[in-house]
Structure 1
């Protein structure tokens, strides 16, 4: 019987079956560790993947997505999130996780609680699960404005 996770931080022990949940856990491990090689290993390569969120806008292809992560990880803010309140559904070649992220955005002088609605779509490629698409959105416009100030250093 598979272990059921109420939340994913990336620190969980993987199920070991090479399934989509292991890929999701690896994504959060890599993101929260600012591990670019780990993120590249989880994302679908080439021009096919896409990302759409309030910080990076629409990015298409791994190179654009990676550029957004490099900018985020190289800035003054550190972001750590936990995926929770999620559903998980899929087939043999695709898997969709839909839920919420909560966490902290910190700089040397400030800390902000963050919350996002999040969708992560994985597909099977050469026997491994790779993230093909991510969509994130924010319900609280004031939190988004404060988050953008911490990430970008001023209003966007």
Structure 2
């Protein structure tokens, strides 16, 4: 498997955890360090895995159903660092209300101990 494919697979794991609202799977893909950073669309930056985990927990509790399709814009790998830029096409159902949205996302990964870990996720709404 190429480094590029392994990075794409890690990114896919992140989005499947997101889509399935699975905190355990999310915990396996995110770096557990305090330097991790997450910026949900329209929100402030969240630092450190514990705060990031709490933010995902809130999102998952508020969401009844979620589908995410990605359009990959760019993939780059540099030794133990890689990033993916993608358009997130989201279908979300909350309280019987259906919402479709698009976000431009940047996901930064670090290669540690034989695996890629997400260290930064930034989503910005596409208007």
Is residue 62 of structure 1 aligned with residue 49 of structure 2?
yes
Task: Output the aligned Cα RMSD.
Answer: 2.0
Structure 2 unaligned spans of 5+: none
Number of residue pairs matched? 126
Equivalences for 1:120-139 in 2 at 5 Å?
Answer: 120-139=107-126
The TM-score normalised by the length of structure 2 is: 0.89
CA contact (8 A) 2:20 2:66 kept: no
The TM-score normalised by the length of structure 1 is: 0.73
- Cα deviation digits, residues 84-120 of structure 1 (max 9, x gap): 1421011120111012100211124210111000000
Match of 1:101 in 2: 88
2:45 aligned counterpart, secondary structure: strand
Q: What is the CA–CA distance in structure 1 between the aligned matches of 2:41 and 2:69, rounded to whole Å? A: 18
Moved more, 62-71 or 84-93: 84-93
- Cα deviation digits, residues 128-153 of structure 1 (max 9, x gap): 1000101110132xxxxxxxxxxxxx
CA contact (8 A) 2:69 2:89 kept: yes
1:132 aligned counterpart, secondary structure: strand
Larger radius of gyration: 1
- Cα deviation digits, residues 11-48 of structure 1 (max 9, x gap): xxxx6xxx211111111111111111100100011201
- Cα deviation digits, residues 34-82 of structure 1 (max 9, x gap): 1111001000112011011235521000001100110011125433212
Match of 1:113 in 2: 100
Q: What is the CA–CA distance in structure 2 between the aligned matches of 1:70 and 1:109, rounded to whole Å? A: 20
1:46 aligned counterpart, secondary structure: coil
Structure 1 unaligned spans of 5+: 3-14, 141-156
Higher relative contact order (CA 8 A, sep 6+): 2
Bigger strand fraction: 2
